[in-house]
Amino acid sequence: MGPETGTDTPPYAAVVLAGGTAARLDGMDKAGVEYAGRTLLEHALAAVRDATETVVVGEHVPTSRPVTFTREDPPYGGPAAGLLAGRDALAVAPQRLVVLAVDMPRVSPGTVARLLAAATGHDGAFLADRGGSRQLAGVVDVPALDQARPDDSHGLPLHRLLAPLDLAVVAPDGDEATDVDTWADLRDLREPRGD
């Protein structure tokens, strides 16, 4: 039973994407940026705390719980290459794989539970922002992902990798789809919300 959700959550593994260049954050390692007393990486790890196994695609840093670190080869290949590198680093291939960008600190275990529930009967499910655009928080069926895998994923846009999959879209609950791309985004997260 998921501690925060109160519902049974199917087993899943997780890949946290933390290997980008963070150009709009002056090249700062996003995983180490602090928000609400924890790093963005620790927020992401808390969101996938019920995963049977967690792989972080990015530089090795200390974490509060055991995870596997890996990198796409060559590095900085983008989210599709990162997702596939994370999938390849799993010790056991699960049926469902949660993928989460490190810069989405408002995603919670409850968000993950909703994504897993929405993925039932589909090849996966992804969180959308309020405008309906798919965000980098979702669930994919591993056999379907493996079947869609191209020979070369370096630089491949994630939407192209996932195009053959039947993905449900999950509307955000509040501001859980918010990501941190700039220092202004981080400042806005720290300010009290007016909604």
Q: State the pLDDT at residue 180.
A: 76
For residue 24, which amino acid is it? R
Q: Are 165 and 145 in contact (CB under 8 A)?
A: yes
Please give the pLDDT value at position 4.
Answer: 42
pLDDT tens for 74-97 read 888 889 999 999 999 999 989 999
Evaluate if residue 156 carries a pLDDT over 70: yes
The set of long-range contacts for 107-110, using a CB threshold of 8 Å and a minimum separation of 24, is 107/43, 107/44, 107/47, 107/137, 107/176, 108/4, 108/46, 108/47, 108/176, 109/2, 109/3, 109/4, 109/5, 109/46, 109/47, 109/48, 109/49, 109/50, 110/2, 110/4, 110/5, 110/173
Give the model confidence (pLDDT) of 32-76 as tens digits: 788 788 899 999 999 999 999 999 999 888 899 999 999 988 888
For Cα atoms 136, 1, 111, give the angle at the middle one, nearest 5 degrees.
20
Amino acid at 119: A
pLDDT value for 13: 97
Q: Of 43-52, 142-151, 154-163, 174-183, which gets the smallest average pLDDT?
A: 174-183
Four-point Cα dihedral 54, 56, 61, 66, nearest 10: 10
Domain edges within the chain: 13-190
Report yes or no on whether pTM surpasses 0.85: yes
CATH of domain 13-190: 3.90.550.10
183 has a pLDDT exceeding 60: no
Mean pLDDT of 178-185: 70
Position 1 scores a pLDDT of 35
